[in-house]
Amino acid sequence: MNILLLGYGKMGKIIGEIAESRGHSIAGKINIENKSDLDLLDPSQIDVAIEFSQPEAAFENISWAINHGVPIVVGTTGWLDKKKEVEALTLEKEGSFFYASNFSVGVNIFFKVNELLSKLMNETKGYEVSIEEIHHTAKKDAPSGTAITLAEGIIKNLSEKDSWNLAGETNSQENSVEITSKRIDPAPGTHIIRYKSEIDDIEISHTAHSRQGFALGAVLVAEWIPSKKGVLSMDDFLSF
């Protein structure tokens, strides 16, 4: 396959290396320095685009791919206020748009464990839930997209919670899941769910040791998506 890399930072470079090691070709490497080169590319020569750029560039990159009939796999977070626009454009153009806050298979198993635990905790009183996430200092958005996905899984199943807030915000409420974000090098990503009570604490966590799992997951999805249409997610890919 010919893969277009939209974003060529640390993740983009690892994705490119893994893609080439699996026999694919890189059709282009677009970042902030050569952004204008995007309009010089021939979309008919691109099988799929993988988007790991910056929040401020993601929407434009995604729109370009969908408007040009290029299936796109997106891992950038921090732009989700425009996700509904992207989904509507995908359906209008009969395109292929895949978003995941995290492409690691282990993290997606962790999402399911989190939802199961929140269902169990919904039947148990006296516990207060919180989320802590730790990433490297180059990560610009906070909380992480993965932490938001975890919070959404809790909110879906825990009747006393209906929103999330970033720790330190003045608008926090009792019915909100508090997320603490820390930026410490060289941490690729740690997410901790805690249920605290006067009697005991329950805690589950996921720690990534490198970016390899995220990058490989993105490439595997890129290999899978060309024959698919619509708005897609890791649940579709993993058949959870």
Residues 185 and 137 sit within 8 Å (Cβ to Cβ):
yes
9-27 pLDDT tens trace = 989 999 999 999 999 999 9
CATH node for 105-207:
3.30.360.10
Using pLDDT thresholds of 50, 70 and 90, give the confidence band for residue 240: low
Which one from 135, 161, 191, 206 is the annotated catalytic residue? 135
User: Does the annotation mark 209 as catalytic?
Assistant: no
Residue ranges at the known binding site for NADP(+): 35
Summarize pLDDT for 112-153 with one digit per residue, the tens.
999 999 999 999 999 999 999 999 988 878 999 899 999 999
For 2-103+212-238, CATH number out of 3.20.20.70, 2.40.50.140, 3.40.50.720, 3.40.1280.10 equals 3.40.50.720
Q: Alpha helices, DSSP H only, in 51-98?
A: 55-67, 83-93
Asked if 2-103+212-238 and 105-207 have one fold, the answer is no
pLDDT exceeds cutoff 80 at 171: no
Tens-place pLDDT, residues 43-90: 999 999 999 999 999 999 999 999 999 999 999 988 999 999 999 999
CA distance 123 to 114: 15
| Binding site, annotated residues for (S)-2,3,4,5-tetrahydrodipicolinate | 136, 145-146
- At residue 210, the pLDDT reads 85
Task: Mark whether 228 is an active-site residue.
Answer: no
Q: How many helices (H) and strands (E) does the chain have?
A: 7, 11
| Whether the predicted pLDDT of 172 surpasses 90 | no
> Cα 113 vs. chain centroid, distance in angstroms?
17
Domain spans in the chain, listed from the N-terminal domain onward? 2-103+212-238, 105-207
- Read off the tokens for 77: 């977070």
Annotation: binding site for NAD(+) = 75-77, 100-103
